[in-house]
A = this chain, B = another copy of it.
Amino acid sequence: MPKSHFQQIKVGAKGARSGSLKTRRGVVDTPFFMPVATRGAVKGLEPSQVAATGAQVLLANTYHLHLSPGEKVIKKLGGLHQFTGWRGAMLTDSGGFQVFSLSKVREITEDGVTFKDPKSGDTIFISPERSMQIQLELGADIIMAFDDLTGLDATARVRTEEAVKRTHRWLVRSITEFKKLTKNNASPPLLFGIVQGGLDKKLRAKSLEFVQSQAVDGVAIGGLSVGESRSEMHSMLKFLAPLYDSSRARYLMGVGDPIDVRYAIESGIDMMDCVMPTRNARHGSVWVTDTKRLNLNNAKFASDPKPIDKNCDCHTCVTGYSRAYMRQLYRSENPLAGSLASIHNLRYLARTTEEYR
């Protein structure tokens, strides 16, 4: 097992823990939420604006960046940080999730996944080795093992056990390739393994046990927040909570609703990511409390002089942009609407995680 990069500081009464994760781009405080910069940029926001929300780590999608502009181009331009202007730590996913969710034609063999790029029609092959190669060329600070994602459709349920076993074999291959490629690297990125198993607790426990037996810096829970009910997801998080070892960071993939963020943190999770806060913002939906959202398109805000939330410390609320002005921006299809609302929602989630540090 590699030297631990995660330092647990304390475990709170509710089961939440605070700590720090050491990356080659500095130490970040946990728990934290990662905004999603799919193609290297959060929609409508400069990196400095994202950082000002309190975000420490940015997530970029390997699948999208592989297709365009390609890892060779990004490497040539000095890597993801130089390319995007983001100065903090970056995490790339393995590409697995997008392969399964976005591409219709795909063939899974023991070797890897072959699929058609829906845009260009090109045939693309990704395997654990290719995923490691691509992510290392991109230059992220935290990279993910390539997994066989199990969805929730009927076919996928049948595949669950097989998919988990394959995920484990692919994790071993990911680690082997990672070691090979980083053996001369004085400060390699962190590598996280992914736990699968759908909603089957026995399988999940086995998968977690396997991942924790491997030389990984962190443990990610994949295959949740993919269509199951909230109570199913929470039940699984509660089940897994006592099974983690304390020396590694725990990352719940694809979760960003404040209620789930809190539940996850109180189930021992350290990191999360989701496109929801920024996607919702672009459509006019902003958080005021965990359970109350405003739809800024609503006519009732037409002459409302109040900021989104008078108690919020985000740039948008502090500057004093009114709900009336925000509504005017949405009505006039001004992308500034989405940018200002994204700042608010990202700050909302960052503040939520900060409460637990």
Give A325 to B65 CA distance when docked, in angstroms.
12
Roughly how many angstroms separate A319 CA and B83 CA in the complex, as a whole number? 12
How distant is the Cα of A302 from the Cα of B48 in the complex, in angstroms? 23
A321 within 8 A of B: yes
- The answer to whether B302 touches A69, judged by C-beta atoms less than 8 angstroms apart, is yes
Q: Does A27 contact B (CB under 8 A)?
A: no
Q: Is A334 an interface residue (CB 8 A)?
A: yes
* Given contacts A69-B324, A302-B69, A322-B77, A44 and B339 within 8 Å (CB-CB): yes
A329 within 8 A of partner (CB): yes
How far, in Å, is A200 (CB) from chain B's closest CB? 37
Q: Are B336 and A83 in contact (CB under 8 A)?
A: no
- Does residue A303 face the partner (Cβ distance < 8 Å to B)? yes
Q: Using known A-B contacts A78-B305, A335-B44, A338-B335, determine if residue A68 contacts B328 with beta carbons closer than 8 Å.
A: yes
Q: How far is the CA of A44 from the CA of B333 in the complex (A)?
A: 10
Please tell me which one of the listed residues B46, B77, B303, B335 contacts residue A43 in the complex, with CB atoms under 8 A apart.
B335
Asked if A26 lies at the interface with its beta carbon under 8 angstroms from chain B, I say no
Q: Bound state CA distance, A331 and B303, in angstroms?
A: 37
State whether the Cβ of A268 lies closer than 8 Å to any Cβ in chain B. no
Question: Residue of B at shortest CB range from A83?
Answer: B325
Once the chains bind, are B41 and A334 in contact (CB under 8 Å)? yes
> In the assembly, what is the distance between CA of A77 and CA of B325, in Å?
10
Tell me if A3 is interfacial: C-beta within 8 Å of chain B: no
A332 partner residues in chain B, CB cutoff 8 A:
38-39, 41, 64, 68
Chain B contacts for A302, CB-based, 8 A? 69, 73
If A305-B77, A328-B68 touch, whether A39 touches B334 (CB-CB below 8 Å) is yes
Question: Nearest chain B CB to A128's CB is how many angstroms away?
Answer: 27
A344 to chain B minimum Cβ distance, whole angstroms, is: 13
Q: A68-B331, A303-B69, A319-B85 are in contact. Are A324 and B77 (CB under 8 A)?
A: yes
A234 to chain B, nearest CB (A): 34
A294 within 8 A of B: no
A40 CB–B CB distance under 8 Å: yes
Q: Report whether B336 and A44 are in contact in the complex, using a CB–CB cutoff of 8 Å.
A: yes
Task: Answer yes or no: A320 CB below 8 A from chain B CBs.
Answer: yes
Kindly state whether residue A84 has any CB partner on chain B within 8 Å: yes
User: B-contacting residues of A (Cβ < 8 Å)?
Assistant: 38-41, 43-46, 48, 64, 68-69, 73, 76-78, 83-85, 302-303, 305, 319-322, 324-325, 327-329, 331-332, 334-336, 338-340
Q: Known pairs A39-B331, A68-B332. 13 more at Cβ < 8 A?
A: A40-B325, A41-B329, A41-B334, A44-B336, A45-B336, A73-B302, A73-B303, A73-B324, A77-B322, A78-B305, A83-B322, A83-B328, A339-B339
The 6 closest A-B pairs by CB, nearest first: A335-B335, A39-B332, A44-B335, A73-B303, A43-B334, A41-B334
A-B contact pairs, 29 of them (CB 8 A): A39-B328, A39-B331, A39-B332, A39-B334, A40-B328, A41-B325, A41-B334, A43-B334, A43-B336, A44-B336, A44-B339, A45-B336, A46-B319, A46-B336, A48-B319, A64-B332, A68-B331, A68-B332, A69-B302, A69-B327, A69-B328, A76-B303, A77-B303, A77-B322, A83-B325, A85-B319, A85-B320, A335-B338, A339-B339
